[in-house]
Structure 1
Amino acid sequence: MGRKAQDLAPLAISKLSTQGMHFVGHVAGLALRVSSTGARSWILRITVGGKRCDLGLGSYPEVTLAKAKELAVEQRQLVKQGVNPIVSRKAARMALQAEHASFVSFQEASLQYIAAHQAGWKNAKHASQWRNTLATYAYPIIGNLHVKDITVHHILQVLEPIWQTKTETASRVRNRMELVLDWAKARKLREGDNPASWKGNLEALLPARTKVAKVKHHAALEWHKAPEFLAKLRQQDAMSAKALEFVALTSCRSGEARLATWDEIDLERAIWTIPAERMKAGKEQRVPLSKTVLALLQSLPRIEGTTHLFPNRDGKPLSDMTLTQLLRRMELDCTVHGFRSTFRDWAGETTAFAREVIEHALAHQLKDKSEAAYARGDLFTKRTRLMEAWAGFLEKGEASSKVIPINQKEQRNGR
């Protein structure tokens, strides 16, 4: 048994600075070792199998006297039970090293899967397609995750942003993730059910691919039903409802709204500036904010740790699927993107605003070259009037005849 010295108080221990082993009492064999460099660490001297061993318990003062005593008592209990703490530690260290050695990320697993199967693929481009789709959609989310740690939540993070808009691609990505994870399970790299499987799993969380694919055009709400929709939407208190209201009022694309940040918003000038890299046409867009939109923005909470207007609980942007699911709960037969069509139908059928003003409001590129060459500006002033009129209609259902008239010739010329 280790040597039991006189119990030293914490203050006395803190003053030990001479090189060597200083037994401090409290627990038999407990000592403070001072190295030639002055570094101090706790040692427990034990006898196992007739051999004397020194067991490290941590650095001083990071490990306090109280903690060192606790650790020393635990190790002595193991010795009494016939356990060799040193052998036990080595085994644990080797197990940890083995776990690290067996770490295989999803990206590594997918590349191994491709290497193992590409010889049997008839089309030489198939391997390239695999790598490209996974690199584009899967790797940013799960590429660096250990295959054993991937869950349904991660799979949905990959699929939800593209399931409605790129259904065929999303379906292929899902199938490829499933095959890679099946391969990983066969190689004993993961256990349990496959989180990317469709049957009995994702089929309960995502609409069937065939049903989504049938929607060639984005289903839109009839324009005269839009005010009723807004009133119903405002009964919802979720962040997704706020985001959907913002989409409806600005007629922007879902992704433009979901990824919007506070630094893009100028409340004083009532302008939302969307950077070029987030626009479909690759061109910066200035969006006029109606008084209704400004009121909506001012009602939003500024959440610490995120700059997004409409974050989820993790501070990340809402997914497109979140907005789609809200529409389903409201039992509406339309898509988020369809609100742009609703706006266009309303503006085209009930107002005197020129076509190019409406197209600019939707951030569409004008197909007519002469029309595009003439409208070099962004028609911001006219779009401001248009969006105020749209907000007024949505809020009150007012007839568009009440919109302040604009000179018809001016409208036709887009001035």
Structure 2
Amino acid sequence: MARLLNRLSPKFIENIEKPGRYADGGGLYLQVSPCRNGDVSKAWLFRYMRGHLTRTGRPTSREMGLGPLSTNKRDGFLTIKEARDRAYRARENLKAGIDPIEARRALKLAKRVEDAKAVTFRQCAAEYIESQKAAWKGEKHVKLWANSLKRYVDPVFGGLPVAAVDTALVLKALRPVWETKTQSAAKLRMRIELILNWATTHGYREGDNPARWRGHLKNVLPNPGKVTKVKHLAAMPYDELPAFMVELRQLDTTAARALEWTILSVVRSDNTFALTWDSGELDLEKKFGPFRLLG
């Protein structure tokens, strides 16, 4: 009686160079294919009958690639034993009424889901900022986003899987500053919401956004517009500025130089606070205009 399984000897598998398919038994085949450089490639595949009947009344033939042949246990390559083990598992699936290809797809999908669950909110925030910064108004906007998230969100749930972020965690980050720094907190809520939307679109989380305002956080947090009114500081009359600058230059402090810089360069205070020597905004060689202050 002819042997039904393990028909191919290790020597035959190693030496065969003629393109074609060679049955090892039980639906397992060694496929030898020609390469452009004149060599051949060898790979394992599993062939089985499954699904709808053809016009001849026979089941449809399906083929599942198992992986390339390995004779030296290279990563991603299959030895003879490994290929036969995979073919055996495929046959067991068929006996149980499970299509091996569909089973493999389900496993891959499950792995992607598990991998997605491991992605942290911090990672999503960084990727969101990177994807959006080209449309923002310079590096300042990027720093505002990054700094607010680092200060208020990171300590609460920055390192947690983004899939695990819920309403309780969002409130835990917002409540300490909602009534004391209301405008900043409102912007922070919006940033969290946008990042979570981005994560949902990329398949890293599911369900409603716990940071959404309408119909959700609006029910538990006071309206930002009613908590505190924005009070703008009065501006100095421009005709008083020369005398003020004389007094300011008599103060030998870092704060005085920073204020003088802010006035002369006509930038917002945020730009002054975030300014560093390597920021690219200082030209020490030309020293034009307000840069003369730097000596």
TM-score > 0.5, shorter chain as reference? no
State the TM-score, normalized to the length of structure 2: 0.42
Q: Looking at both structures, which has the greater relative contact order when contacts are Cα pairs under 8 Å and sequence separation is at least 6?
A: 1
